[in-house]
Structure 1
Amino acid sequence: MQFLIRPISLPLTVILAFCFIGRCRLGATEVPRDVSTLIDQHCVDCHSGDEPDGDLDLATLGFDLDDLEIRRRWIQAHDRVLAGEMPPNDAMSLEPEQRSAFVRSLSQTIVRAEAGRNDVVLRRLNKHEYQNTVRDLFDTNVIVHGLPEDSSTNGFDTVGEGLAVSAEAMTAYLAAADQVLDAVLGPKGQPKSIRHETNLLDQVDWRGQPMDQQIGKMFRKTEDGLVVFQSGYCPTHLVNFSRLRAPAGTYRGTFKVRAVQSETPVTLRIYGGDTIVNRREQHLVGYYDVPPGNWTTIEFTDRLLEDGGTFHPKCYATRDTRKEADSWPHPGIEIGDIIIEGPLEPWPPVSRTKLLGEIDVTSANQVDAQKVLQRLLPKAFRRPINDDDITSYLKLYQSSVSAGQSFESAIRVAIKAVLCSPEFLFLIEPRESRIDPYALASRLSYFLWSSMPDEQLFSLAANGSLSNPDVLRNQVERMLKSPRSARLTKGFTGQWLDLREIDFTQPDANLYPEFDELLRISMVRETELFFEEILHNDLSLVNFVDSEFTFLNERLARHYGIDGIHGQAFRKVQLPADSQRGGVLTQASILKVTANGTSTSPVLRGVWILENILGTPTPPPPDNVGSIEPDIRGATTIREQLVKHRDIESCAACHRRIDPPGFSLECFDPIGGYRQQYRTMANEGQRPKLKQAPFTYNWVRYRLGQDVDSTAITPNGTTITDIPSFRNALASDPDRLTTNLAEQLLTYALGRRLGFSDRPLVDQIVKQTREQDYGFRSLVHAVVQSPAFQQP
């Protein structure tokens, strides 16, 4: 399929951008003779003057390769000539020697230009890496608030040039350091320990009034507790626990429960935090399957971030009652005795002991402060330290003591300065031809763990063996088996596949009443588990576009129309032979982040596939081309509206590549459901038979409008008739998929943009991965073993 090849099909104004060099004002880079000769002979007659072909005035382009946009256009021109697509067929053909000379000369010139501008940008820890690093450095579970959002460059927030430090950011780091030290050192005294035994029968409401008035209406009273039916409004907050003003910390909850009036498990969900009045901090604890019959116990641990937090249990996907609980015939959950106990953190905190050791802060002195800094600084700076490193921080301690502060307050000042220092906040990589062993350890740990190296990596860096290929491979294997590798899944998939944008739009409740919290959570979890399965078992990365399996729970399986999956726990599922699912492009998470809450756009999805899966981005649309507004009344389809764009010459070339993958996914709606008709709010549509949406029981108000047409024809004439044929087309070029994923991983791991000069490196990584049957784990190893990973 033509949209799978590496060279990019561009509008004529971009394709021919290389054709005028002989007649324009040049930048600092000298035009190679082979380039200028070909231009003079083949291009300027058509692309200069008052009315140049393609409405392009080439005199404004130039050959200043210091300019990123000009360099980008020249790289695209290089690709078009290399692919034999330029000059056009109706122009004078090129001799093979001419084409080779042009491509070789232009390639060498671009590489030299990039090398001259390849200044190393120090990379700051992004907010996620900062959080992970302070947790691992001090052995604490602190949650840091207030750090500024990080900019994304080339799709990732690990790229150095997008991680600048402003005055506002430094103020935020000062505040963050205080939060970290408060958590590390703990409160001045041991928090009170709570073991709260209660029952919903004993609860009062937020005003302190007994819940008796709700019994018989919303709840059914039993000998052991209450039967709860509510999945909507449900006043079952553990108010009595909230009134204890429990200190922030980690708590264990134990609920005695059983499902009633149901032959299958009923789902219980629990929320934690300030769940009653202000709801400043409310979070989901989890969803739990409650079987019918005998009592069962649900146990969880959860961290309350603020004093006075509590917990709130309620049903999920049950029918509510407001007036007849005693005779209500539908499923519910009987909740018996409840125990909440905590905080579970030991006293003194492990982090305090790890930092201060056996020091008695009431009698500690400068020698003790020096010992603390000697233990802390090598880990905080991720390298060996010398006396000069300690001196400045020790002076801060001494100044604070001289000003009358206690040892603990004075050492806080010194450590706060450490946490705000460039050596901590930046990944500094001393280098010559290779980065030093400690920088290599950090590069590896921030790639796979989004955090600082552990003791084993530090030890291997110290003895100089980390750069040994066998040692490096063993470390990658060890690190991928660690629970910390879940951070790679979160960080990389969150940005490569845009999973972080899952909440960017909220589906229209009238058009998609079945969308709810559990579906949203399940969407993301499917993709993360799918990613981990391919990575940890070294499966072919072709699975990302065409697989025979996925990971499902009951909620997501029913959304996909797959029977036989019961319970909210995820499990690996072999997809039916005729399934429309398979690969990330058919997963609900991707289908949601590539749509808005009302409609789908083949343009948006097509561009996303070209950029994120195939690595062949398209240029932005011309300024004079209007956007396409969705027709929620269903009078016209998006396919009909796009016809006018394809009729515009400056749009047609790009739409020939964008539209086929975009239209192929039109059979999926904005929340990833399979569809054969569009939903509409127009009265002309047909009301579906289903009166209430599954799980949410929201009333269906939409109608079914025009039929969906998800067929497409690619630029080379291949017909896409259905999702399986689309998946097969994508899977037919594993090198293209591997090239893109190698580029994505390298950008994420190295913290810099990839350039034209990196192409040989990427090609070598692709070759190595091809030899390992395109295994995804093998690709990660090839990236780590590549020269670029160990070079500045």
Structure 2
Amino acid sequence: MVNTKNFIVAFVVATLVAAGAVDATADTPALMPEKHLSMFKEHCFECHDGATKEANIDLENLSFDVSKDLATAGLWQKVLGSINSGEMPPEDVEPLGDSVKADFLEDLSQRMVTARQILSDSGGAITLRRLNRREYANTIESLLGVRPDVTTLPDDQATSGFDTVGSSLFFSSDQLEQYLATARATLELALTSKSPIKSKTVRIEPEVEYNPHYAAAAAAMRDIAARSNAFLSQSEKPASDFGLLDEYQARKQRTAEWLPQLEQYLARPETKSGITLIMTIKQGGMTKVKMPVLHENADGKYVIRLRAAMYPDAGERFHYLEFTSGYGTGRKLLGWRKVTAPLNRPEIIEFPIEHSPGQKQQVWIHQRSHQDRGDKNLATLDMRANGIGTPPGIWIDWAELIGPDPVPSRANHSASELLEKVELVTDAKLAKQFLHRFATLAFRGEEPAPEFINRLVDQYLGSLSKGESSVDALIGPMAVVLASPSFMYMVESTGDTSSPRLTGAELAVRLAYMLWSSPPDDQLQALARSGELLNPSVLKQQTARLLADDRADEFVRGFVFQWLQMERLDMFQFDGGDFPTFDNAVRANAREEIFETVHLMLKEKLPLGTLLKSDFVVVNDLMAGYYGISNVQGYHFRKVLVPSDSLRGGLLGTAAVLAMGSDGQRASAVERGAWVLRHLLNDPPPPAPPNVPQLSRLAGEVLSARELARAHQEQPQCTNCHRKIDPLGFGLENFNAAGLWRDKEIIGTGRQKAGKWQIEKVFDIDPSGRLPDGETFADYFAMRDAVARHTDDFAQGFTESLITYGLGRTYGFADHDLAKTIIDAAKPNNYQLSDFIDALVQSPTFQTK
């Protein structure tokens, strides 16, 4: 199918030549010959003249000189790609003759090479940028050993989808106070001495802590129901005589519909010696065990230890404990543990947590949840079915909180040594030495200016004169260091400023922030100072070392999350009534599945194509249960082989990708198709045109996905995009919005109550479609195979994103040769992930300011 944007480029270029906008006879080595004008006239003018501007793209200023600027060359690159791929001209336009096409491609290819040479010196500059939120938090932690609270700091406005792109990382003067306040608060936590807290064990006995309250709640329900019925059975006395507000309250409370659930709970013999985890609207949504509150000065490592068993008749989802934390509003998901022991042989389960200094939190233990009305809807549906409610899944005998144990400092070795000496600072001379050393560490090895240190010492002395202790007096100057440009920005201006190449220190910083999102460690800095890091073999060894380090998790999460646009996974709420198994646990672990898959690929040196199709998945017990994969035990992620006919194995079969291709209610062929084009085939569709008319004539009608797509294609401004996007999305139509297989498309209509639709319409699913190059497929499996054959396209898109992330600027035309070099280096080893990274790091571009 035609790529609209690429198609218009070709037309406008020809139009400009015809209109005299370019001089076709000028002595410009990258100028396209005028003879190709006839091709554009014959194949392009009808739809893409200046008046029509189909797809709302106006390129009237496009020059026929391919080397005019980066934007012009970039558009010509797209023209070349679309003709090479067969997307242009479209099917409903007379095809190009073989000789015409070959002649045009030869001329354009030659001009592209020339244009790259002309523009190579003027493009690809790496923008000076500030640390993004992730990097700022990691850098502060590496210096102080305490992680700062960055929630009040400015958001990172990602450009090209990445928070490392310098052009979007602004810093204004009014934000300085926010950074100063954050730095000061973190310094106070790091430098204020406190008495160590002795580790202890606190046990919660749920039958003592909670069951009396549940019994009182049941008694209250019985009482108000009795009073309501007594009032409604007579007419002489007012509601107030029965302790009621009015008749409305009496009618609402007379049935006490949740009372049977509480009564059954209290009647269970196991609740005499523990707590049964159930959903109950009257008690805050669910029964739970609340651990003791951890206060601001109780930081350290803790272990939650409990004795539990499961009810075998409950669904597997209810055999998982969910651990959440918070204080006040909002809960943070900590993790899950599956309970497998029966009631007659309970098991001991341990769950480690870490409590950060300066925070206040309380951990709750409860069953897996949606934490929305979905839980209530499910409980209501079960209550209507059995008269009681959702059966219990887990029984907890007791729970203990053990700790705290000290947390090893996360400050790097040099910073830890310095901070240990802070209390030895007693005068201006020692303060000057201390602040000079601290600033040098904070500035990642760069020497601070003497006048800057002198001003910090003056601030220190001023605080001392006001009666502050020496340690407290240091906090202000140190906060200034942590809010100064040399700390906040990735400065690359030291050494020989006449040379564009990075110094060893600058290269160490760029490498560490790419792979760790934090400063270089002592080993990397030592190699930088000695000059050895500039040796390609040493640089290669260090790249491998950094990738093998646990801190490379920052690269995997930071890059992969943004590359695959995984923020969509959190955009929509999946109603528990419609998607009972797609809860908080699945959403979080589905995201983790992709990260852990990439980790495994790096560790085992697996090819990039593994993400397109593989004979294994990387799952834990929770995700295996969701996918219906048996014999996976334990919460840790591991490689699990799957048969050739498995739905899973590759990104297209992951719950995360499939859920992202929905709106939380219905699967979206458009979102899924566009995602495949953008991230797997490196053929992103153009943005949707503005002011797309609503399909008002279909208001109130319930249509299948195919019918909706056909309706959209009736709109002229929608046709071209949908013809390319939708056929790919249809290949995934057998997966519902939550990524589970279905044989029919079922759409609920009418009034929804407690997760149940009044009417459901059923449609057959047609999963056939085709790729942009015209290859057709009959179903999901054939589509996955077809996409997997486009590994080269996938590698190109991956490389472009890696360049953007690693260099901190948007991939552009000038990066074509760099991308080709990286791909050529990775291809002989079947596109191993580490080869892409190593080739980028070894490139002159990465090592240039």
What TM bracket, shorter-length normalisation? 0.7 to 0.9
Superposed, 1:268-667 pairs within 5 Å as: 268-274=321-327, 278-280=328-330, 282-292=332-342, 293-304=344-355, 309-316=361-368, 332-345=393-406, 354-360=417-423, 364-385=426-447, 388=450, 390-430=453-493, 432-566=499-633, 568-626=635-693, 635-646=702-713, 651-667=718-734
SS at match of 1:607: helix
- 1:19-74, Cα deviation, whole Å (9 max, x unpaired): 133325579x9976742524555546887899948834988334398887655433
Match of 2:762 in 1: 705
SS at match of 1:742: helix
Moved more, 478-487 or 448-457: 478-487
Is the Cα contact below 8 Å between 2:7 and 2:88 reproduced in 1? Answer: no
Whole-Å separation in 1 of the counterparts to 2:520 and 2:618: 31
Deviation at 1:770, TM superposition (A): 1.1
Moved more, 187-196 or 137-146: 187-196
Is the Cα contact below 8 Å between 1:15 and 1:76 reproduced in 2? Answer: no
Moved more, 455-464 or 480-489: 480-489
Is 1:17 aligned to residue 9 of structure 2? no
Whole-Å separation in 2 of the counterparts to 1:143 and 1:565: 37
Residue among 308, 316, 321 paired with 1:258? 308
Deviation at 1:563, TM superposition (A): 3.7
- Unaligned stretches of 5+ residues in structure 1: none
Moved more, 541-550 or 328-337: 328-337
SS at match of 1:515: coil
Whole-Å separation in 2 of the counterparts to 1:85 and 1:134: 50
Residue among 37, 45, 54 paired with 2:34? 37
Is the Cα contact below 8 Å between 1:743 and 1:754 reproduced in 2? Answer: yes
Residue among 265, 269, 273 paired with 1:217? 265
- 1:129-148, Cα deviation, whole Å (9 max, x unpaired): 11111112222344433122
Deviation at 1:126, TM superposition (A): 0.8
Relative to total residues, which structure has the larger helix share, 1 or 2? 2
Q: Which has the larger radius of gyration?
A: 2
User: Which amino acid letter does the alignment assign opposite residue 489 of structure 1?
Assistant: V
Whole-Å separation in 1 of the counterparts to 2:411 and 2:689: 59
Would the alpha carbon gap of residues 350 and 44 (structure 1) be closer, same or farther in structure 2, given more than 3 Å must change?
closer
Is the Cα contact below 8 Å between 1:603 and 1:658 reproduced in 2? Answer: yes
- 1:390-412, Cα deviation, whole Å (9 max, x unpaired): 34433432343345443222211
Would the alpha carbon gap of residues 699 and 515 (structure 1) be closer, same or farther in structure 2, given more than 3 Å must change?
farther
Is the Cα contact below 8 Å between 2:727 and 2:769 reproduced in 1? Answer: yes
When the two chains are superposed, the root-mean-square deviation of aligned CA atoms in Å is 4.1
Whole-Å separation in 2 of the counterparts to 1:459 and 1:195: 44
Is the Cα contact below 8 Å between 2:303 and 2:350 reproduced in 1? Answer: yes
- 1:305-364, Cα deviation, whole Å (9 max, x unpaired): 666632322234899899xxxx99966544334332444337999899644323436x71
The number of residue pairs the alignment matches comes to 766
Residue among 206, 210, 214 paired with 1:200? 206
Deviation at 1:617, TM superposition (A): 1.6
Would the alpha carbon gap of residues 710 and 84 (structure 1) be closer, same or farther in structure 2, given more than 3 Å must change?
closer
Would the alpha carbon gap of residues 386 and 160 (structure 1) be closer, same or farther in structure 2, given more than 3 Å must change?
closer
Residue among 776, 779, 784 paired with 1:727? 784
Moved more, 705-714 or 554-563: 554-563
Moved more, 249-258 or 646-655: 646-655
Superposed, 1:669-748 pairs within 5 Å as: 669-682=736-749, 703=760, 705-748=762-805
SS at match of 2:320: strand
Would the alpha carbon gap of residues 287 and 144 (structure 1) be closer, same or farther in structure 2, given more than 3 Å must change?
farther
Whole-Å separation in 2 of the counterparts to 1:347 and 1:73: 53
- Unaligned stretches of 5+ residues in structure 2: 220-261, 370-374
Is the Cα contact below 8 Å between 1:192 and 1:247 reproduced in 2? Answer: no
Would the alpha carbon gap of residues 342 and 185 (structure 1) be closer, same or farther in structure 2, given more than 3 Å must change?
farther
Residue among 126, 137, 144 paired with 1:131? 137
Deviation at 1:421, TM superposition (A): 1.0
Is the Cα contact below 8 Å between 1:664 and 1:710 reproduced in 2? Answer: yes
Deviation at 1:538, TM superposition (A): 0.9
Match of 2:61 in 1: 61
Is 1:773 aligned to residue 835 of structure 2? no
Is 1:179 aligned to residue 240 of structure 2? no
Whole-Å separation in 2 of the counterparts to 1:663 and 1:584: 16
Would the alpha carbon gap of residues 220 and 355 (structure 1) be closer, same or farther in structure 2, given more than 3 Å must change?
farther
Is the Cα contact below 8 Å between 2:265 and 2:271 reproduced in 1? Answer: no
Whole-Å separation in 1 of the counterparts to 2:636 and 2:817: 44
Is the Cα contact below 8 Å between 2:299 and 2:404 reproduced in 1? Answer: yes
Whole-Å separation in 2 of the counterparts to 1:78 and 1:717: 18
User: Which amino acid letter does the alignment assign opposite residue 428 of structure 1?
Assistant: V
User: Which amino acid letter does the alignment assign opposite residue 60 of structure 2?
Assistant: T
Would the alpha carbon gap of residues 286 and 100 (structure 1) be closer, same or farther in structure 2, given more than 3 Å must change?
same
Is the Cα contact below 8 Å between 1:144 and 1:179 reproduced in 2? Answer: no
Deviation at 1:511, TM superposition (A): 3.1
Whole-Å separation in 1 of the counterparts to 2:401 and 2:697: 50
Whole-Å separation in 1 of the counterparts to 2:672 and 2:697: 15
User: Which amino acid letter does the alignment assign opposite residue 272 of structure 1?
Assistant: S
Whole-Å separation in 2 of the counterparts to 1:72 and 1:25: 19
User: Which amino acid letter does the alignment assign opposite residue 431 of structure 2?
Assistant: A
Match of 2:286 in 1: 234
Moved more, 597-606 or 346-355: 346-355
TM-score (norm 1): 0.85
User: Which amino acid letter does the alignment assign opposite residue 623 of structure 1?
Assistant: P
Deviation at 1:786, TM superposition (A): 2.2
Deviation at 1:249, TM superposition (A): 2.1
Whole-Å separation in 2 of the counterparts to 1:334 and 1:720: 49
Whole-Å separation in 1 of the counterparts to 2:27 and 2:517: 42
Would the alpha carbon gap of residues 313 and 716 (structure 1) be closer, same or farther in structure 2, given more than 3 Å must change?
closer
Match of 2:840 in 1: 783
Deviation at 1:740, TM superposition (A): 1.3
Match of 1:100 in 2: 106
Is 1:145 aligned to residue 158 of structure 2? no
Whole-Å separation in 1 of the counterparts to 2:472 and 2:27: 62
User: Which amino acid letter does the alignment assign opposite residue 76 of structure 1?
Assistant: K
Whole-Å separation in 1 of the counterparts to 2:483 and 2:729: 46
SS at match of 1:382: coil
Would the alpha carbon gap of residues 406 and 632 (structure 1) be closer, same or farther in structure 2, given more than 3 Å must change?
farther
Moved more, 523-532 or 29-38: 29-38
User: Which amino acid letter does the alignment assign opposite residue 348 of structure 2?
Assistant: T
